[in-house]
Amino acid sequence: MSQDTADVTHQIPDRIPISLIVNGNRRTLDLVPWTSLLDALRDHLALTGTKKGCDHGQCGACTVLVDGRRVNSCLMLAVMTDGAEITTVEGLASDGALHPLQQAFIDHDAFQCGYCTPGQICSAAGLLAEGHAGDADEIRELMSGNLCRCGAYPNIVAAIQQAMGLP
């Protein structure tokens, strides 16, 4: 190892303190710098609704909202989200009432094993906020980053259409 590399390595702290608003509650964490947001949520905050599918940004099972934008939490370092507002599937219901997307997924039988469902619902919540989808084809396109190994896609699209008030 060169002297320069050794110096840089020496400067990386063992742990970094961060503060997040998670589902409306402030949470503080002290994390090793390479902790993904997904692992911070699941392993440090015990919010296991968000799922780890591929851990490589390919399946969407880990989708959460960061300051209202949907992201694959397995691809984001938790320290990059210091100060952000994070919404996971646990934060979507309010006052004991399901989020309209959660109700729509039930109404349309839009899950089978349910493993992809938290990511699908968080991604759909982001899609609604983005306001770019006007019909089923656009929903399919804009949800294409969320894979479902059970193949519940027609029901998922129907559920999102219901939540959007589309025919």
Residues 6+ positions from 82 with CB-CB distance below 8 Å:
18, 19, 20
Quote the Cα angle for 24-30-34, to 5°: 105
The alpha carbons of the chain give a radius of gyration, in whole angstroms, of 18
Interface size with ligand FES, residues (CB under 6 A): 23
The pair of three-digit structure tokens given for residue 110, joined into one six-digit string: 């839009």
Is 57 a binding residue for ligand FES by CB under 6 A? The answer is: yes
Nearest residue (CB) to ligand FES, 23 versus 105: 105
If binding is defined by CB under 6 A, does position 78 make contact with ligand FES?
no
The pattern of x and - marking residues 117 through 156 that bind ligand FES according to CB under 6 A reads x------------------------------xxx-x----
Tell me which stretch binds ligand FES (CB under 6 A): 3-11, 18-26, 109-117, 123-131.
Answer: 109-117
Task: Count the residues in the chain.
Answer: 167
Q: Give dist(CA 159, CA 100) in Å, integer.
A: 9
- Residues making contact with ligand FES (CB under 6 A): 52-55, 57-62, 72, 74, 111-117, 148-150, 152
